[in-house]
Amino acid sequence: MKKILAFGASNSSRSINKTFATYVANQLNSVEVNLIDLNDLEMPIYSIDREEADGIPELAHRFRQLVAESDGIVVSFAEHNGSYAVAFKNIYDWASRIDGNVWAGKPLFLLATSPGGLGGKFVLEAATNRFSFQYEAPIVTFSLPSFQKNFSAEDGVIEPTLKATLSEKVAVFQKALDA
Ligand SMILES: Cc1cc2nc3c(=O)[nH]c(=O)nc-3n(C[C@H](O)[C@H](O)[C@H](O)COP(=O)(O)O)c2cc1C
């Protein structure tokens, strides 16, 4: 059975992105989902001075290990002022100091959602641009606008067009996983 590492790129205890990443990961067939909470990977804010003085925190190695143990990553990004939430960026920065290939060539399902109508479009673009640079493995992306309107806890994505598009993307990611 394939292993999926899933998380919301947020440290909110009520994270809609964690909810959404969980939902999407659970749409995949025959996978074991390892859902992590970024609060469990909180480290000092990255600085070159800290790195030189104390080295790279064990939790950054732990994050890389979680990636290495997986066959694919499902992540949904919270958008803060048009970019990554600090909780994610800090982990990413520390992890990138161990090896710039943070995602270790695993297939990526990059998602974003927000309460607003743009659905985290800017952070999703930033992530897609960054992570696709010299990356061989498939990258699938999807943004869900207006989370509270388009998603229900019981039924998941309820807006028909968005639901259909997401189903297609899930199928593409499933194919990448099974390849
Ligand atoms: C500091 C801050 C900045 C935000 N900036 C944006 C933004 O640029 N675009 C957006 O769509 N939502 C923005 N929001 C609203 C977030 O999308 C919303 O809080 C969402 O719930 C975050 O995802 P999460 O619940 O997974 O943490 C911002 C929220 C905060 C607290």
* Secondary element (H or E) of residue 148: helix 147-150
**Cα–Cα distance for residue pair 104/131, rounded to 1 Å:** 11
Atom of ligand 1 nearest to the CA of 76: 26
Domain spanning 2-178: CATH 3.40.50.360 = yes
Give the closest residue to 67 by CA, choosing from 127, 7, 112: 7
Q: What is the pLDDT of residue 25?
A: 98
Q: What is the pLDDT of residue 23?
A: 98
Q: What is the mean pLDDT of each run of 10 residues along the chain (179 residues)?
A: 97 98 98 98 98 98 98 98 98 97 97 98 98 96 98 97 98 96
Give the closest residue to 9 by CA, choosing from 98, 82, 111: 111
Substitution site in 14, 80, 123 for ligand 1 pocket (most atoms within 8 Å of beta carbon): 80
Write the residue with the smallest CA distance to atom 8 of ligand 1: 81
For the chain, give every domain's residue range: 2-178
Q: What is the pTM of this model?
A: 0.98
Other beta carbons less than 10 A from residue 165's beta carbon: 15
* Contact predicate 99/67, CB 8 Å: no
| Distance of CA 120 from the midpoint of ligand 1 (Å) | 8
